[in-house]
Every structure is written in C-alpha cells, then in structure tokens.
C-alpha cells in the first residue's frame, strides 16, 4: 500500500474542508494543551513545594498537645475541647532528656493586631527565643539593618509579608520603627473581653524562609510572649530538634512512648507528604478534566469524519470502482484522523506549555510568595499526552473509516 500517496490524498481532503478540519484540530489542541498545561502546573507546584520544604530544617518536630473530645453533644454544645496535656517547662525538660534530641524550643502563639503609622494589620505572633530561628529555619536571612536582640523585651521581628503587605505600595513598618501590638482575650475569671497592648521597636525584618509559620508571623521574646499573651507558662507548641534528619523517626517514637496519643507530632516530611498527596489528588482531578476535553475532541473527530464519509460517499464508490481495496479506504480515512491527531497534539504541546506559564502566572498573582514558581514539563509526560492525543484521534477515526471501507461500491455510487 502506497502510504505516502494515501497521506497526500488525506491532506488534500482535510485542506478541502479547511474550516471544519481546523475546528476539529482545535478540539484536539484544547484537550492536549489542557493536559500539558495542567500537568505542567501541578508538576511545577509540586516542585515549588518540595523546594520550599528543602529550605526547612529536616530535623525539626512540631509538638502540640492533642485535644480532648468535646462534651459529646452532637449539636456542638458542652465544654470546648481541652488540651490533653499541658505543655510546660516539665514537658520541655523531659523531652530535652530524650536521646537524639539536640534542642527543644518552646513557643507561644496567638493572633495579635499591629498598629504602625495609622495602619493596622492582623497577624500571628510566634513567641520564641529569637536566636532559635536559626535552628528552625537554617537559611533565614534578614534585611539590612536588622539585629536580633535575644533578651530585649521590646524588640520585635517582622516577616517580610507583614512588613511589606502584598499589593501595597508602601511598607507597613521598617526597621527601627516603633509599632504597637494589641492582644485581645477573654478573662477566664470575669468572662469579659480584655486587651493587652505594648509598644515594640522593629529590630529586624525576616526574608521569606519557606516556613509558613514564620513567613506570615512576627517574632518576639518568649518572656514577653508569656506575659502579654496571658500564657502562664503553658506553651502552645514545642519545636524539637533531632540531632539530624535521620533521627526524626526515633525522636518521634521516644516522645510517643512518653505521651502516647496525648500529643500531636508533625514533621516537615509528614507535611510535605500530605501536601504532595493533595497535589497528586488535585493532579488526578485536573487530568481527568483534561481527558474529558480530549474525549470531546475525539467525538469531534468522529463527527467530522463521519460527515466527511457521508459527503464523499460517491468518491468512495469511484475509488472502489477503479479497484481500491477496503483496506485502502480504511487507511485513507484513518490517515485523516491521524493527521488531525498529529497536528492537534503537536500544536497542543506548544499551546499547553504557554498555558502552563499563564496558569502559574495567574496563581502567582494571587500569592506573591509563589512568584518563583515555574511550570515543569517533563518530556515523558508530554510524550504520553502526545501519544494519547494521537492514539485517541486514530481510535475516533476507526468507526467512520470502517464504515467507509465496508460500503459496497454500487451502494456508494448510487447515493446522492
């Protein structure tokens, strides 16, 4: 069979119906490009998350108290859930004495409102010994002029996001500026809402670290935190540094042995795993949407070729009259489907790559911290999408081509 000539005839046929062919190709382009773009975006997203987490200390365990269950009232009444254990200095000491533990960093956390130069900002305070920031985020950097004043009760460190709120032209606060922090709470004795305000001097501004706890918070001295946040020595979380990343599991096991399920332990690796599981789920979801788009394209090919077979029935009859075998007609129409698939899938790769960048840019515009995120296009992924698009196109062409090839010549010639 003269495949080259059959292809030439197919391309002539597609050219003859330019608009219809172009629209059908576009359907394949939409499906394949959507797949490429979404795959590229999720792979880029996953890469970005992995990169961000690689900047975190891999040896840190985040320890919190587990919560007791509420009053058992299905309608939400009864006492609120209470911590199962109190994270205090005794717990800190016990954990510090465990093997493979190199450091234990207790912390207080609360929501506060900051005021600077007439502007207000709600944020989270992460109250720890400021020097320990280097343990939690080893790659942390500060803007010029910053200083870490470990024992200064009025020093406050701002994250870049607090100091330079996204979407605003002027900074919220700069190094050396005095700002006011207000903590609002309910007095457990009176039940009334109270507030505690203090003035701080911005001693430094932290560059983004990749650690979400730090990157959206402010940091001040733990002693100040205990007093201002009404913590009475009850820590909200304890960060435990294992001697190295490989001892994280052993330390977790030791802590678990001491406190069982009364304690919650999270590691960067576990968070990463959870996020990656989410991304994988999201990726499956988006891929299935793109696959549906590709299937719509395949239906488009069926429709186009089926119409083409109907319109060209006399041509099919003529070809059979002059000796074309059924296989010749079959291959003729399949090569039209193949041509549509190849052009559509190849164009889809290009459009998909551009689409991936557009999607990521759209995502980054919502979240400035992800501005360095770029889509990732793996050759094997693109090859799979290309193959799938072309394969589906040929599959879609099967029925119309088969129908054309099986039409008896006299039936084809008689049909108007």
Partner 1 sequence: MNSTEEYALQNGAIDSQTVLKVDNVTKVFESAAGRVAALRGIDLEIKRGEFVSIVGPSGSGKSTLLNIIGALDKPTSGKVYINGIDIFSLDDSEMATMRNHLIGFIFQSYNLINRTTVLKNVALPGIISEMGSEERERRAMRLLQVLGIGDKAQYKPVNLSGGQQQRVAIARSLMNDPAMILADEPTGNLDTKTGSEVFGLLRMLSSKFRRTVVMVTHNPELAEASDRAVYIRDGRVEKEVSH
Judged by CB under 8 A, which stretch of 11-19, 82-90, 91-99, 107-115 contacts partner 1?
11-19
Nearest distance from residue 394's CB to partner 1, in Å?
22
**CB-wise, 13 or 340, nearer to partner 1?**
13
Give the span between the Cα atoms of 277 and 275, in whole angstroms. Answer: 5
Q: At 85, list the tokens.
A: 């254990």
Q: Which is nearer to partner 1, 326 or 372 (CB)?
A: 326
Give the DSSP letter string of 22-87. Answer: HHHHHHHHHHHHHHHHHHHHHHHHHHHHHHHHHTS-TTEEEEEEPBPP--S-TTS-SSPP-BSS-B
1 binds partner 1 (CB under 8 A): yes
Nearer to partner 1, 323 or 379 (CB): 323
Question: Binding string to partner 1 for residues 22 to 61, with x set by CB under 8 A, is what?
Answer: ----------------------------------------
Kindly state whether residue 131 participates in binding partner 1, applying the rule CB under 8 A: no
The residue among 282 and 328 lying less far from partner 1, judged by its C-beta, is 328
- DSSP structural state of residue 131: G
| Calpha distance 167→173 (Å, rounded) | 15
Q: What tokens appear for 352 in the block?
A: 């998909």
Q: How far is the CB of 36 from partner 1 (least distance, A)?
A: 33
- Token look-up 């100040």 returns 224
Query: By CB under 8 A, which span of 9-17, 127-135, 182-190, 335-343 interacts with partner 1?
Result: 9-17
Q: Which is nearer to partner 1, 9 or 92 (CB)?
A: 9
C-alpha distances in Å from residue 238, one per residue of 94, 102, 203, 232: 12, 13, 24, 15
Site string for partner 1, 260-299 (x = CB under 8 A): ----------------------------------------
| CB contact at 8 A, 35 and 291 | yes
Q: Which residues of 169-190 are buried (b: 16+ CB within 10 A; e: fewer)?
A: eebbbbbebebebebeeeeeee
Tell me: does residue 132 bind partner 1 (CB under 8 A). no
By beta-carbon proximity to partner 1, the closer residue of 106 and 317 is: 317
| Euclidean distance between CA atoms 15 and 22, whole angstroms | 9
Q: Cα dihedral sign for 153, 154, 155, 158? A: positive
**Cβ of residue 20: shortest distance to partner 1, in angstroms?**
13
Stretch binding partner 1 (CB under 8 A), from 3-11, 108-116, 143-151, 273-281 = 3-11
Segment near partner 1 (CB under 8 A); pick from 95-103, 121-129, 138-146, 408-416: 408-416
Q: Are 116 and 199 in contact (CB under 8 A)?
A: no
**Is 7 a residue that touches partner 1 (CB under 8 A)?**
no
The footprint of partner 1 on this chain (CB under 8 A) covers a number of residues equal to: 25
Contact characters 317-356, partner 1, x per CB under 8 A = xxxxxxxxxx-x----------------------------
Restricted to residues 293-322, the positions that interact with partner 1 (CB under 8 A) are: 314-315, 317-322
- Whole-angstrom distance, CA of residue 141 vs CA of residue 28: 48
Contact between residue 152 and residue 219 where contact means Cβ atoms under 8 Å apart? no
- 235, 87 in Cβ contact below 8 A? yes
In terms of residues, how long is the chain? 416
With respect to partner 1, which residue has the nearer C-beta, 17 or 234? 17
Cβ proximity to partner 1, 5 vs 367, nearer residue:
5
Q: Is residue 18 near partner 1 by the rule CB under 8 A?
A: no
Provide the binding-site residues for partner 1, judged by CB under 8 A.
1-2, 5-6, 9, 12-13, 15-16, 314-315, 317-326, 328, 409-410, 413
């Amino acid at each position: 069979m003269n495949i080259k000539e059959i292809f030439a005839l197919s391309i002539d046929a597609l050219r003859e119906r330019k608009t219809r062919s172009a629209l059908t190709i576009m359907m394949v382009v939409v499906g394949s490009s959507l797949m490429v773009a979404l795959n590229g975006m999720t792979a880029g997203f996953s890469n970005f998350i992995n990169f961000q987490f690689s900047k975190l200390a891999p040896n840190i365990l985040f320890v919190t108290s587990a919560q007791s269950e509420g009053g058992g009232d299905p309608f939400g009444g009864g006492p609120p859930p209470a911590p199962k254990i109190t994270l205090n200095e005794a717990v800190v000491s016990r954990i510090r004495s465990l093997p493979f533990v190199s450091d234990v960093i207790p912390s207080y956390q609360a929501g506060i409102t900051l005021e600077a130069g007439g502007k207000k900002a709600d944020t989270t305070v992460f109250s720890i010994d400021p020097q320990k920031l280097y343990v939690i985020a080893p790659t942390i950097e500060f803007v010029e002029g910053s200083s870490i004043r470990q024992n200064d009760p009025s020093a406050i460190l701002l994250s870049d996001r607090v100091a330079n709120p996204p979407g605003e032209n002027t900074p919220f606060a700069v190094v050396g500026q005095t700002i006011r922090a207000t903590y609002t709470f309910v007095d457990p004795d009176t039940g009334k809402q109270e507030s505690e305000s203090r003035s701080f001097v911005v001693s430094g501004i932290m560059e983004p670290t990749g650690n979400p706890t730090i990157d959206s918070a402010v940091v001040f001295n733990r002693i100040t935190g205990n007093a201002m946040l009404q913590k009475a020595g009850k820590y909200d979380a304890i960060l435990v540094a294992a001697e190295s990343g490989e001892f994280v599991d052993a330390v977790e096991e030791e802590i678990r042995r001491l406190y069982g399920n009364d304690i919650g332990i999270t590691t960067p690796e576990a968070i990463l795993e959870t996020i990656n599981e989410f991304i994988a789920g999201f990726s499956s979801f988006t891929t299935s949407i793109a696959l549906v788009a590709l299937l719509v394209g395949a239906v488009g090919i069926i429709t186009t070729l089926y119409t083409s077979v109907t319109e060209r029935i006399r041509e099919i009859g003529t070809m059979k009259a002059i000796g074309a075998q059924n296989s010749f007609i079959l291959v003729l129409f399949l090569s039209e489907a193949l041509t549509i698939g190849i052009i559509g899938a190849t164009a889809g790769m290009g459009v998909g790559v551009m689409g991936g960048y557009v999607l990521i840019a759209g995502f980054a515009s919502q979240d400035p911290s992800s501005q360095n995120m770029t889509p990732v296009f793996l050759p094997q992924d693109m090859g799979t999408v290309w193959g799938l698009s072309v394969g589906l196109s040929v599959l879609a062409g099967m029925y119309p081509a088969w129908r054309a090839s099986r039409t008896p010549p006299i039936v084809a010639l008689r049909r108007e």
